[in-house]
Amino acid sequence: MSYWSQHRFSRIAVMFCFLAFGACVGACERWQPNYCPTARNQSCLELDAALPGACTVDQDCSGEMPVCDVIGAKTCVQCTTAESAACTGTTPVCSASNVCERCIAHLQCPLSNTCLPDGSCADPGKIAYVSPSGTDNTECSKGNPCTKVLKALATGRPYVKFHGTTDEGVSVSGGRVVTFLADPDAALTRRNGSGGSDAIVTVQDNGTSLSIYDLTIRDAPNSPGGIGCVVPTASGSPSLVLMRVKLINNPGGGISVAGGSLTVTQSTISENQGGGLTMSGAPMTFSIVNNFIYRNGNDVNASTGGLFLLPNGASKLEFNTIIDNKAKVATTSAGGVFCDEVGFTAAHNIIFRNTGGMTGNVQTVGSCLYGDSLNAPGSSNVDNSPGFVHPNAIPFDYHLSATSPRTVIDAAGACNGIDFDGEARPIGSACDLGADEFKPGGQ
């Protein structure tokens, strides 16, 4: 081959290699694990590490973002699934977006299986566990729960955790401060009375404080004293707090208090033949907000079907749905609410379709005012003008619906907070009346 032929061949070969290399640079590099289209000669990992908030190891992070998301975005975050222990205190749960959040369910706290009301996971050493599948012991630990609430209280721990159904009358007194917590569907009942008080839960004495969360209190003995929760006469000024509690089918009444302070929120009070909630003695401080109170009382001997209240100026009765309660025919009887305090206003409630009193359909009695509340007897015992989901047959459901009118939807004006289901108020332009804030597409 001549010199010029060889030289021409070499130039062609060089040109081919150059074109092939260029094609590879334009396409083949994309197969590299760290290929960067904006900087083909530099590793993406190197570029990421140079960006604000980027990281490759935890040591690159600090402060409120102490964890490196090495599997995901390679940025500093609060936590990851692999490093959920970075979440502590009142935000112990690592979310899917790598943010520390409050616990909202007991199963989110594997060590103690107990989520506290402040959103933290409880120390198992501070909990006395009660379960019908346990034994009659005094340890009351997570691994060895006791069957008696009496034994759990004797441990002196600040929390009692319920699982399953416990059959026992319970008394909290002597200045004790304790919180009852419950697994889903846990219940406290009392099938047999003692010959004295037949209440399921009794609270008394100055300084005593009982808070109950998520527990069902039902089926007290069939007697006038068969009450769900009671603060007896001459019991001092204890505190009773009920949140997301169900008080159901207690013949003597759902709640009876003769002093102290009472808070009832996001709870259900229903089918208590002696009435829903009764106060006696001097005016007292209470907060009754975001509750469904229905089908309590009777038309034979119940002086009040839903509520008998003695408020002082600091009390609150707001955003409740009080419906289908019954009272006997009498001058002071009200199927819905007896409330007698001049200047006290109970706003934003639905008080509807209750029966009792001298005319047979008296909703409220007393000098209390009801502001923007819907306070009406209804045209019949099946009138559903407020547009409830399922108010006339089992299972009863008094949530608002898409058919609810403007007399209840957005009728409570400006407000903030949550409703019975824990959903934020308002959802529309203003808050809805009653316990439920209607949510389009759901309850």
Is the pTM for the entire model greater than 0.75? yes
Check: CB of residue 348 under 8 Å from CB of residue 415: yes
Tokens (6 digits) for 274: 């002696």
Q: Where in the chain is the domain with CATH 2.160.20?
A: 149-376
Tokens (6 digits) for 254: 């759902």
Tokens (6 digits) for 259: 């002093």
d(CA 400, CA 302): 28
d(CA 364, CA 339): 7
Check: CB of residue 384 under 8 Å from CB of residue 405: no
The CATH class given to the 149-376 domain equals mainly beta
Check: CB of residue 181 under 8 Å from CB of residue 163: no
Neighbouring C-alpha atoms within 13 Å toward the C-beta of 22: 6
Contacts of 124 (CB under 8 A, 6+ apart): 111, 112, 114, 141, 142
How far apart, in Å, are the Cα atoms of 369 and each of 338, 413, 415? 11, 17, 19
How far apart, in Å, are the Cα atoms of 79 and each of 60, 64, 71, 141, 179? 14, 10, 12, 30, 30
> Which residues lie across from 93 on neighbouring strands?
101
Contacts of 255 (CB under 8 A, 6+ apart): 227, 228, 229, 230, 242, 247, 262, 264, 269, 276, 277, 278
d(CA 253, CA 236): 21
323: left (phi over 0), alpha (psi -120 to 50) or beta: beta
How far apart, in Å, are the Cα atoms of 5 and each of 1, 16, 18, 191? 6, 17, 20, 110
Is the torsion defined by CA of 129, 134, 136, 138 positive or negative? negative
The per-residue pLDDT for 245 is: 98
**Sheet (strand 307-309) strand order:** 170-172, 201-203, 227-231, 253-257, 277-279, 307-309, 337-339, 364-365
Q: How confident is the prediction along the chain (443 residues), in pLDDT tens digits per residue?
A: 444 344 443 443 434 333 343 443 444 344 444 444 444 444 444 444 456 678 999 999 999 999 999 999 899 999 999 999 999 999 999 999 999 999 999 999 999 999 999 999 999 999 999 999 999 999 999 999 999 999 999 999 999 999 999 999 999 999 999 999 999 999 999 998 765 689 999 999 999 999 999 999 999 999 999 999 999 999 999 999 999 999 999 999 999 999 999 999 999 999 999 999 999 999 999 999 999 999 999 999 998 899 999 999 899 999 999 999 999 998 888 999 999 999 999 999 999 999 999 999 999 999 999 999 999 999 999 999 999 999 999 999 999 999 999 999 999 989 999 999 999 999 989 999 999 999 987 65
